[in-house]
Amino acid sequence: MKDKAKHSRTTKIAPGHRHATKAVLVRCHASQDARGPFTKQTKPFERDPFRRRSLLHSAMYALLTASSLSLLASCAQLQLSRPPKVVSTPPPKPKPKPVTLYQWQGNGRKVSRIEVDLDKQKAFFYAGPNEIGWARVAAGVRSTPTPVGKFKITEKVAKKRSNRYGKIYDSKGNLVIRNAATNIDTIPSGGRFEGTPMPYFMRLTNGGVGLHGGPIPRAGRPASHGCIRLPPKLAPILYQHTAIGTPVRIFGGPSDKRYSGTWVRRQRT
């Protein structure tokens, strides 16, 4: 009984000390609150979840911004370190070599015979057994082919125009048909027909086929209405060294299958 009384006397707090004990407890809790956000007692993230989200978003934004800036800096350094591109200009296309249209080694000798190969679109000139020249020609297309066989020169006219093929003009002088044929096209009232020039003409047939100077638009291809066109620069030379009665042999046939009966009509329109 004495021990219990003694124990009860030791645990009792005097009335004057109760206020002091409360003050100590208050100071203890205040010191625990002031320990900072990382103490177990305060737990600011649990108290304010919006603050926690905002802090996380801010951290992520800062991380992304830093990575973007570093990436841009590296790209800028990469662009600055790259050498400038050298734009190479392609070399100019080589110009096509001019086609040799004829060769002449007559040296004043007269032509004794002429041979025309329609497959090669070439004519060969001889003085006796010797070849003294050759020329690329433009013979008749399929719609108006050059006749084959053996012929003789029957007429020579230095300035001649065709009476079958040419141009048709109306009464006012306007060109109506560029590539006209008198046996197909009609001359309008008051209009006129102008035959195609056939300089240095040497007749072979009564139908008007012969050798004469004229354009050769595509070397090696037929392009005429039946005559054998010679290079314009060679035509006066051959005309001067060839006499009436000179034999002419024509052989072969049109080699370009793209030429057909519609070619002349397309040219006319």
Is residue 194 scored above 70 in pLDDT? Answer: yes
Separation of alpha carbons 126 and 113, rounded Å = 5
Say which CATH superfamily domain 102-160+198-268 falls into. Answer: L,D-transpeptidase catalytic domain-like (2.40.440.10)
pLDDT tens for residues 105-117? Answer: 998 999 999 999 9
Mapping DSSP to helix (H, G, I), strand (E, B) and coil, where does residue 114 land?
strand
pLDDT tens for residues 60-69? Answer: 767 666 666 6
Q: What is the pLDDT of residue 8?
A: 44
Is the pTM higher than 0.75? The answer reads no
pLDDT tens for residues 116-160? Answer: 999 999 999 999 999 999 999 999 988 889 999 999 999 999 999
Sheet containing strand 247-251, strands side by side: 102-104, 130-136, 122-127, 113-117, 247-251, 149-152
Domain layout of the chain by residue ranges: 23-53, 102-160+198-268
Separation of alpha carbons 114 and 230, rounded Å = 13
The token pair that represents 61 in the structure block:
């934004």
